[in-house]
Amino acid sequence: MTDRELTYTYYPGCSLKSAAYAYEDSTQVVSKSLGIRLNEIDDWNCCGATEYFSVNQLPAYSLVARNLSLAHSQYGGADVVAPCSACFLNLRKTNDYMRKYKNLNAQVGQALGAGGLSYTPGSVRVRHLLDVVVEDVGFDAVKEKVVKPLEGLKVAPYYGCLIVRPETGYNTEYPTHLDELMTTLGAEVVDFPMKTHCCGGHMTQISEETAYELIRRILKNATDYGAQAIVTLCPMCQLNLDAYQSEVNKMFGTDYHIPVLFFTQLMGIAFGLNEADLGFGAEVVPAGPALATIGHPAEQTRQRPKRRDKNALPMPGSNGADES
Amino acid sequence: MATPSSTRLLDQVMAETPGGETLIGCLQCGTCGGSCPSASDMDSTPRRLFAMLMADMDEDVLTSNTPWFCVSCYYCTVRCPQDIPITDLMYTLKQKAIQAGHYHQDAHAPFSESFIGYVEQYGRSFEFGLATRFQLVHHPLATVRKGGLGFQMLRKGRLHMTPQKIKNMPQLSAILSKAKQLAGQEV
Ligand code: SF4
Ligand code: SF4
């Protein structure tokens, strides 16, 4: 199937352009290798995450609808692909709710109209990147690309909440499509009962006690089951499990040091792609030791090249310092 | 999102949540609370909160910490036998609490508001500014303690020092203003 090009409209979302650049980088090279063409929506805006929705619903739906409207006007009815689970949920939910609830549709339509836009709900379909890989590319085509199977690497496939909920056609409590993908790459999948449990989301910013307990449960469960790495498909899950792992260790007196990687990074390794293009080294808990056990010494030293965004504004007090 | 025809908080909450009218069919089965990962931090389970709402215990509902501890995982929503959009109802209850001047714990609403502030100014969220500004205002000691984490994220190129701004900000602002006006909010 990879000899023909699969074309999608791409919504990266804010995280992939900053904290989760490893996801963005690996998504780009893996998609290319699979014949997936991603046309990024020009001038997309934030999906509102949970914050906008939690205090301001109608503006939040309107915010998301602007992206759907731009997607349709720029690339017609091509499916919109979002690698971030929160973006995926917000885009899909807005699309579904506008179709289902006439009053909401009318009000969002009026709000869009104030910006000279319109959107007919359902005119694009919203997909998660994992779904595209599993359903449209398919395991057979993925298998054909595998040149360096991940043999001997024990991974815990962690789905988080949003990719399978509210309803996406996969089992909401015990999905297996990421498990199967990992098996296709040659990895050993550990049965991982907490695979759809919550990582704490934005609670890390609000109530550390609540968030760290949720993170601890997932780290403990994956470790208890012998995983050498956790594989995720959501930037928020990756950030929480990776960046707060040492805080969790401090709070609970534990000693977890399990790397948390994006599924696209592991696909890239199995496909034999250049590891420097897969964003390794961005993770706080290094992936190197786990990958070394299967003979893939991941690049640990690469720094993100300086990249100035022409739309970026200087912030007072930042001395114009960039992101190095 | 309709203009509430009744002053009952229950009716307003149902009307302002897409699909919210299904709340009236709540069986009080407790599946939501039993599924919720945050239930142990909540003063009432979602089930109990809905019972209070139906009993017109508005003050208790609006001051409850329950919606603020909701992490939006949708576990309750997919498990509810009555297909009640519980997560969305939690959002509406937060909005109602803010409107009524009840934040429960002062950090919660300001966090959302500083996030929203960046989105409204730039069209994109800005993790570095958000994390630092919010943490400095609300958790200054923790910021110092966690300075190492921020530094590490910065060093790894995972935090931008500058926010990204979309090109057509006037268009987005016009859309958001109209939406706020329709939702009956001050513009
Ligand atoms: S799961 Fe649904 S029906 Fe049961 S108590 Fe909760 S809201 Fe009510
Ligand atoms: S969505 Fe909120 S209320 Fe529902 S289970 Fe998750 S945290 Fe609990």
| pLDDT tens-place string over residues A131-169 | 999 999 999 999 999 999 999 999 999 998 887 777 777
Kindly identify which residue of chain B lies nearest to residue A44, measuring between CA atoms: B166
Give how far the C-alpha of residue B176 lies from the chain's centroid of Cα atoms, to the nearest Å: 17
Cα–ligand 2 centroid distance for A17 (angstroms)? 28
Q: For chain A, 324 residues long, give each residue's pLDDT as a single digit of tens.
A: 444 579 999 999 888 887 888 999 999 999 999 999 999 999 999 888 777 777 788 999 999 999 999 999 999 999 999 999 989 999 999 999 999 999 999 999 999 999 999 999 999 999 999 999 999 999 999 999 999 999 999 999 999 888 777 777 788 888 899 999 999 999 999 988 889 888 888 787 777 888 899 999 999 999 999 999 999 999 989 988 998 999 999 999 999 999 999 999 999 999 999 988 999 988 889 998 888 888 765 444 444 444 444 444 433 333 333 333
Beta-carbon neighbour count of residue A2 at 10 Å? 16
CA distance A289 to A284: 13
Q: Looking at residue B99, what is its pLDDT?
A: 84
What interface predicted TM-score (ipTM) does this complex get?
A: 0.82
Q: Whole-angstrom Cα distance, residue A33 to residue A269?
A: 12
Q: Which of helix, strand or coil describes residue B24?
A: helix
Helix (H) or strand (E) holding B15: helix B9-16
pLDDT at B142 over 70: no
- The pLDDT tens digits for A228-256 are 999 999 998 998 899 899 999 999 999 99
Q: From the CA of B75, which ligand is nearest? A: 2
A215 contacts A222 by C-beta, under 8 angstroms: no
* Cβ <8 Å between A284 and B74: no
Of A110, A206, A243, the CB nearest to B178: A110
Ligand 2 touching residue B76 (CB < 6 A): yes
Closest protein CA for atom 3 of ligand 2 = B70
CA separation, residue B55 to residues A39, A133, A190, B11, B104 (Å): 52, 49, 47, 12, 21
Please give the residue that has the higher pLDDT: either B85 or A312: B85
CA dihedral of A192, A198, A199, A202, whole degrees rounded to 10: 170
3-state helix, strand, coil in chain B (%, to 5): 60, 0, 35
Q: Do A114 and B177 touch (CB under 8 A)?
A: yes
Write the DSSP assignment of A93-157 as a string of letters: HHHHHHHH-HHHHHHHHHHHHHTT----TTSS-EEEHHHIIIIII-HHHHHHH-SS--TT-EEEE
Chain A CB contacts of B171 under 8 Å are 66, 115-117
Tokens of A79: 């499916």
Q: Which of B152, B159, B175 sits opposite A18 (nearest CB)?
A: B159
Which residue in A58, A66, A93, A204 has the most chain B C-beta atoms within 10 A of its own C-beta, making it the best mutation to test that interface? A58
Q: How far apart are CA B175 and CA A65, in angstroms?
A: 10
Tell me the mean pLDDT in the region B95-115.
Answer: 70
CA distance A2 to chain B (A): 32
Is the CB of B80 inside a 6 Å radius of any atom of ligand 1? yes
Is pLDDT of B103 > 80?
A: no
B contact test, residue of A54, A240, A283, A322 with most B CBs within 10 A: A54
- pTM of this structure: 0.85
